[in-house]
């Protein structure tokens, strides 16, 4: 099923056509093997970077493609419809480039072309074992020592841990709370920066996160991104945009599930008729398609607000909340449409069902999104 898209430029149409071609030719026949083995597709991400897909929303002067977020999120959607692990990796990498691109020194920004070109893969180290949703309570501490910061603590659920070339380390350089947090840019070979074994996940096995232990890791003080004790604001601004990326991943995953379930319902016969002709199945498919369209509309509205330079964080929270909840409902219903066939790995809906769950958790749980939205309404 082809999505009827309203795009701002002919160039955007060409970009989405390129993305579809890459997804079809380079990703579709590899996803099952990589997921089964739990292998991270680093070379594929490098290929995507050389194709220009890892720096889409950043300026051309920095090595990006200067594409509006409206277009970037639809690229993610197409990738997610074929391989969620790849789309999530692109989203996380794009998020990881934000601190340097927006707040970095000239020396730090000199690496942007390699970051945005995919030669250097990024990771975003904010969460901790005891501080997921309450990010301002993070305990990892950096103490100034001569020309370095000495960093001690543990980061958790870090996508690309052990595979990344650079890490945004959010750590405490001041007092308690949000005002005592800084962002440090650390190379992967930093002494004392120790990636742990990947987590064993329900889904997204080709992109399994891991903990990062920082054991007196020495990070040069000139790797401070922005100003000291102002890192929490950087983190939150990055996550606003990151939520659009996860919403896009959810829309793409859900669209794939709708398309697959619809095709199956046309082919599968029971009682002498295709099952899609029965109202019980037909209404289910109609609800699935409507939820995906509504999620896409919320996503594009938030992205267009961002492109226009208008406040978008609340709309991003709404888009992330609705799109990921919709992806969970739609993939659940896709399994149901296929019946017993949907519960075996011969059909991708089984994998999509498992993958959809994590989207309700990453980049701020959906309970946190509801809290953000409610506070904006009540002024609390």
Q: Of the candidates 133, 43, 197, which has an alpha carbon nearest to the alpha carbon of residue 361?
A: 133
Catalytic residue, candidates 70, 77, 315, 363: 363
Residue 77 designated active-site: no
Residue 38: CB partners within 8 Å, gap ≥ 6?
198, 205, 206, 208
Catalytic residues, which ones? 363
């Amino acid at each position: 099923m082809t999505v009827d898209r309203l795009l701002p430029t002919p160039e955007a149409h060409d970009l989405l056509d390129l993305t579809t071609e890459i997804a079809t030719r380079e990703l579709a026949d590899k996803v099952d093997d990589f997921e089964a083995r739990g292998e991270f597709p680093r070379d594929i991400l490098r290929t995507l970077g050389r194709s220009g897909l890892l720096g889409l929303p950043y300026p051309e002067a920095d090595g990006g493609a200067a594409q509006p977020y409206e277009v970037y999120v639809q690229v993610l959607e197409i990738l997610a419809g074929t391989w969620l692990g790849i789309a999530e990796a692109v989203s996380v990498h794009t998020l990881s480039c934000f601190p340097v691109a927006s707040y970095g020194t000239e020396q730090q920004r000199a690496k942007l072309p390699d970051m945005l070109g995919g030669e250097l893969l990024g990771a975003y180290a904010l969460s901790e074992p005891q501080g997921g949703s309450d990010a301002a309570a993070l305990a990892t501490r950096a103490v100034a020592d001569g020309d370095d910061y000495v960093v001690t603590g543990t980061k958790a659920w870090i996508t690309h841990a052990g595979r990344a070339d650079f890490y945004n380390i959010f750590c405490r350089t001041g007092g308690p709370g949000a005002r005592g947090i800084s962002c440090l840019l650390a190379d992967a070979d930093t002494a004392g920066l120790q990636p742990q074994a990947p987590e064993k996940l329900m889904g997204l096995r080709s992109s399994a996160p891991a903990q990062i232990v920082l054991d007196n890791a020495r990070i040069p003080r000139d790797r401070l991104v922005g100003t000291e004790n102002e890192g929490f604001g950087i983190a939150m601004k990055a996550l606003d945009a990151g939520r659009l990326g996860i919403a896009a991943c959810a829309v793409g995953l859900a669209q794939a599930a709708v398309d697959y379930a619809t095709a199956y319902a046309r082919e599968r016969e029971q009682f002498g008729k295709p099952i899609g002709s029965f109202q019980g199945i037909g209404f289910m498919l109609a609800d699935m398609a409507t939820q995906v369209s509504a999620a896409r509309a919320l996503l594009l509205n938030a992205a267009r607000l961002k492109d226009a330079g208008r406040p978008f964080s609340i709309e991003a929270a709404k888009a992330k909340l609705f799109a990921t909840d919709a992806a969970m409902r739609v993939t659940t219903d896709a399994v149901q449409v296929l019946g017993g066939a949907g519960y075996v790995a011969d059909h991708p809906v089984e994998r999509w069902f498992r993958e959809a769950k994590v989207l309700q958790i990453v980049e701020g749980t959906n309970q946190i999104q509801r809290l953000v939205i409610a506070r904006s309404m009540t002024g609390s």
